Structure 1
């Protein structure tokens, strides 16, 4: 994945999750912050995933609690790379 696409996804994740009440202790803490709930979509280039699909794909990669949105987004990107999705 290009740096530009990764940067675009990072911004989308950050925007979607920045209003969550940190620290977040599990995935359900993030749902109220999502603009369209679990149906919120993240898209860049050929990559497209809903928040629900994201949660399913990242199960086991995330290390809750997260103290900040940047910490969360870093782990989301790392997990997507580890799963071969990016």
Structure 2
């Protein structure tokens, strides 16, 4: 088993969300920016999740919106995945 790298996931998330029109006020505003829409996946080591799975696993919180940058989004998703035990801290 290969342990996933949270920084690699963070970098993939930033790349995927760079094209969004910020500020973003709800999850649906990200879909047009994603390279494969809702089928976009993020992978590192044995970790692989689609954007929809990531949102569920990271316990997306509507109170976090609006997001001002792709880095802010990536940080929240990675922290949520770490809290959920999906990624190492």
TM exceeding 0.5: yes
Q: Does 1:65 align with 2:37?
A: no
Aligned to 1:40: 40
Partner of 2:9: 9
Structure 2: gaps of 5 or more residues: none
Provide the C-alpha distance between the structure 2 equivalents of 1:24 and 1:11, rounded to a whole number of angstroms.
Answer: 19
Displacement of 1:10 after TM fit? 1.0
2:77 is paired with a residue of what secondary structure? helix
| CA–CA separation in structure 2 for the residues paired with 1:8 and 1:60 | 20
Question: Which is worse superposed, 48-57 or 24-33?
Answer: 48-57
Give 1:59 deviation, angstroms. Answer: 3.5
Which residue is 1:78 aligned to?
A: 79
Q: Which has the higher contact order (CA 8 A, sep 6+)?
A: 2
Structure 2 length normalisation: TM-score?
A: 0.85
CA distance in 1, matches of 2:66, 2:54: 17
1:52-76 CA distance string (max 9 Å, x none): 1112223344611101111111111
Aligned to 1:29: 29
**Structure 1 regions of 5+ residues with no counterpart?**
none
Question: Do the aligned residues in 2 keep the contact of 1:19 with 1:33 (CA within 8 Å)?
Answer: yes
Asked if the contact 2:14/2:70 (under 8 Å) is kept, the reply is yes
Query: Would you say how many aligned residue pairs link Structure 1 and Structure 2?
Result: 84
